[in-house]
């Protein structure tokens, strides 16, 4: 199953791959070179397909749990000052997605969308310390009945050129459902209350919509 954000790119990539295979067959007389070009075109198509895959996952709904919003590796767990919305201390958990990870963003918890804002910016590598403040990003705040207001950011990386965000202010959202998509390498930051119990460790790999990264104590 593929994400709807990839339909156009998949169609174009399929057409390009097909044209390359046909042209190689018609105009390259050296068999091994023809085969190499055709295999390269198919590998290109397979990489596009795997990037836009959208595995079906059903989160076990629980207002006392925060599930991973994306697939990837935990790269930050620290207390920080969140200056855009809360303007106070929060517990930040950041998950980095490599180009081979599933890039669907899922709601880490359910509730009411209180804030949703797009910020244009740079394309520093996603693990750069300044990426959270200087890169292209979206900031979303969900008001959850157990945790209160929780903020998350979709952050573009060096390869990501488009962030898709479905969250609109006033929406009621369900934990684990699609919240958006980040195209080609990126990161998601979550800012939780300081009394939240963190259930993950640095460098741990997590699955979006499945793994519990924090809970109410």
As a whole-number percent, the residues of the chain with pLDDT over 90 amount to 61
Q: Out of 94, 132, 186, 201, pick the active-site residue.
A: 186
Q: Outline where 28-130 has alpha helix (H).
A: 31-51
Return the higher-pLDDT residue of 157 and 44: 44
Q: The CATH number of the domain where 195 resides is what?
A: 2.70.70.10
183 within a domain of the structure (yes/no) = yes
Q: How many domains does one find in the chain?
A: 2
> Which residue, chain included where needed, has tokens 């195209």?
183
169-211: pLDDT as tens digits = 999 999 999 999 887 668 899 999 999 999 999 999 999 999 9
Cα–Cα dist 124/11, whole Å: 29
Q: Whole-prediction pTM value? A: 0.83
Q: Six-digit token pair at 188?
A: 């998601």
Cα–Cα dist 154/152, whole Å: 7
| Per-residue model confidence (pLDDT) at position 57 | 83
| Per-residue model confidence (pLDDT) at position 101 | 83
| Per-residue model confidence (pLDDT) at position 36 | 94
57 within a domain of the structure (yes/no) = no
56 within a domain of the structure (yes/no) = no
Active site residue 186: yes
- Give the residue numbers spanning the domain of 25: 4-51
State residue 31 phi and psi, 5-degree precision.
-60, -50
């Amino acid at each position: 199953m593929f994400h709807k954000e990839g339909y156009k790119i998949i169609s174009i990539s399929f057409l390009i791959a097909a044209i390359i295979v046909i042209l190689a067959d018609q105009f390259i007389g050296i068999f091994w070179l023809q085969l190499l070009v055709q295999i390269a075109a198919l590998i290109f198509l397979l990489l596009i397909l795997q990037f836009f895959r959208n595995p079906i996952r059903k989160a076990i709904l629980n207002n006392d749990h925060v599930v991973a919003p994306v697939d990837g590796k935990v790269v930050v767990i620290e207390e920080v000052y969140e200056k855009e919305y809360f303007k106070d201390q929060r517990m930040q958990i950041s998950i980095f997605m490599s180009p081979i990870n599933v890039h669907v963003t899922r709601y880490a918890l359910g509730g009411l969308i209180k804030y949703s804002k797009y910020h244009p910016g740079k394309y520093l590598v996603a693990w750069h310390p300044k990426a959270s403040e200087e890169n292209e990003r979206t900031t979303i705040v969900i008001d959850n009945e157990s945790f209160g207001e929780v903020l998350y950011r979709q952050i573009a990386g060096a390869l990501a050129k488009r962030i898709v965000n479905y969250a609109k202010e006033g929406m009621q959202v369900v934990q684990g459902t699609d919240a958006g998509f980040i195209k080609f390498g990126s990161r998601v930051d979550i800012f939780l209350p300081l009394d939240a119990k963190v259930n993950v460790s640095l460098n741990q790999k997590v699955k979006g919509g499945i793994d519990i990264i924090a809970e109410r104590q």
